[in-house]
């Protein structure tokens, strides 16, 4: 089985066609509710009913694809924010395990998927079966999502 990278991959890598660079830093959007922000990082609790607590931590400084492209101070800021959010997710949801996925194979812009793993997990002991989102997935109950987001914002200060 062979497949190809998208035709505009070079433009995505360069940042010219980067959807994360082009998106605005909103408190809420189609994909979720922002629960944490710094000058260069956003954390967005996802609406898609993939896994309760599923959160994206997104680098919002200049366009970078790989963590090693960050300066030392940028890397410290990014990973500090990522770990701060992960700790809040672990405190609030009490998962068996937290997963951290920094991939960029679909959207080549630095971001990390934080996934709490639970007893009723779809893939115990294996990588989480995470697929690209289209915005059309089933959604977490809006009241539950808003309640979780408010509690997480409180934990994150």
Per residue in 38-51, pLDDT (tens digit) is 999 999 999 999 89
Residue 136 pLDDT: 72
**Within a domain: 80:** yes
* 35 contacts 53 by C-beta, under 8 angstroms: no
**Within a domain: 129:** no
- In the predicted model, what is the mean pLDDT of residues 31-43? 97
CATH number of the domain enclosing 47: 3.30.428.10
**Within a domain: 19:** no
- In the predicted model, what is the mean pLDDT of residues 22-37? 94
Record the tokens describing residue 112, joined without a space: 């990390």
**Within a domain: 10:** no
**Within a domain: 6:** no
**Within a domain: 38:** yes
Residue 39 pLDDT: 96
**Within a domain: 9:** no
**Within a domain: 101:** yes
For the chain, give the mean pLDDT: 93
Residue 32 pLDDT: 96
Q: For the chain, what is the domain count?
A: 1
pLDDT at residue 149 greater than cutoff 70: yes
Does this model's pTM top 0.85? My answer is: yes
Q: For the chain, what is the largest distance between any 2 Cα atoms, rounded to a whole number of angstroms?
A: 48
Range of the domain at 92: 29-119+138-156
134's enclosing H/E stretch is none
Residue 129 pLDDT: 83
Local confidence band at 133 (pLDDT 50, 70, 90 cut-offs): low
Residue 135 pLDDT: 63
Residue 1 pLDDT: 63
């Amino acid at each position: 089985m062979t497949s190809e990278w998208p035709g505009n991959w070079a433009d995505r890598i360069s940042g010219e066609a980067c959807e994360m660079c082009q998106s605005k830093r909103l408190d809420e959007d189609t994909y979720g509710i922002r629960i944490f922000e710094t000058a260069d990082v956003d954390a967005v609790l996802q609406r898609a009913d993939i896994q309760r607590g599923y959160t994206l931590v997104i680098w919002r400084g200049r366009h970078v694809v790989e963590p090693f492209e960050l300066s030392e101070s940028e890397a410290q800021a990014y990973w500090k924010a990522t770990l701060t959010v992960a700790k809040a997710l672990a405190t609030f949801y009490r998962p068996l395990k937290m997963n951290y996925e920094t991939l960029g194979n679909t959207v080549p812009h630095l971001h990390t998927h934080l996934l709490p793993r639970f007893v009723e997990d779809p893939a115990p002991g294996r990588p989480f079966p995470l697929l690209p989102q289209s915005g059309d997935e089933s959604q977490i109950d809006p009241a539950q999502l808003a309640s979780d987001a408010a509690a997480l914002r409180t934990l994150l200060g």
